[in-house]
Amino acid sequence: MGLAIPATAADKAFFPDEVTPEVLQQQLQTAAASAKAANKDLLVVLGANWCHDSENFVTRKLTAPAVAQVVDKRYQTLLVNVGLYEQLQAQLDVLGIPVLYGTPTVIAIDSDTARIVNRDSLDTWRSADVRSEQEAVDYFSGLPDAPPTTLMPESPALVQANQSIDAFEQAQGKRITQAFAELGKMMAAMHPNPPTDEFLKKWDNLGAVRGPMPDDLRALRASARAQDGEGADPIVLEFPDYLLFTD
């Protein structure tokens, strides 16, 4: 999620205008219906015109012939502008994800079930600018057509552990969204001037939280599964403590 907000960067138009959550809901329903009618799944891209990783993903990755061949065959794409995070929480609620780890965030949705199929890798494309076209081809070729199913029922201990991890992610997501909202206000006030030292300090602080958090969550879920496999009840998890400038 690269920052690029000098005078003209925020005025580029790689993403459509930001819309209200109500309009976003309508757009999502329309796009999902259109995708299903075309026997495709839906790809929702959350990004911003001031973000160079968002720019790279939309103007380079998706337009690269090898990537386009895969994506256009499997998906209908909906671009969603997060703007300066004014409506971020409402946008996340509409899309059914607890947190924005960075932009772009790419959500693959199964048309038959309306469920997200890449839930564990939503953070992948926030670093689009340093990822190769081949990585994009491999990623979108490798996504499943439907959400994974569990053949065996989960034990009560594992269910409880996963619920606690989900609750932790939800709670941290609220904190991250609040921090994004404050930074968005600062970005609006600074434009068209370069970022201030205070802004960059807060931006880096947020990055130090949202950066490792997806890997931390994957580690927690892996630990829960491993303990469950060993018959642990209850499953004991050590949750990280993140310090944000909004605390």
Q: How is the chain split into domains, by residue range?
A: 9-142, 156-229
Report the pLDDT value the prediction gives residue 10, as an integer from 0 to 100: 47
Rounded CA separation 100/210 (Å): 8
The pLDDT of residue 150 is 66
| Fold entry, domain 9-142 | Glutaredoxin (3.40.30)
Task: Give strand pairing partners of 3.
Answer: 51
d(CA 183, CA 177): 10
Give the CA distances from residue 68 to residues 35, 77, 218, in Å, rounded to whole numbers and listed in that order. 16, 11, 29
DSSP 145: S
Please count the CA atoms within 13 angstroms of the CA of 211 that sit on its side-chain side.
Answer: 11
pLDDT of residue 86: 96
Tens place of pLDDT per residue across the chain (247 aa):
655 554 344 457 899 999 999 999 999 999 999 999 999 999 999 999 999 999 999 999 999 999 999 999 999 999 999 999 999 999 999 999 999 999 999 999 999 999 999 999 999 999 999 999 999 999 999 999 887 776 678 999 999 999 999 999 999 999 999 999 999 999 999 999 999 999 999 999 999 999 999 999 999 999 999 999 999 999 999 999 999 999 9
Residue pointed to by tokens 């309009």 = 23
pLDDT of residue 7: 38
Tokens of 88: 């971020």
Distance separating alpha carbons of residues 27 and 31, to the nearest angstrom: 6
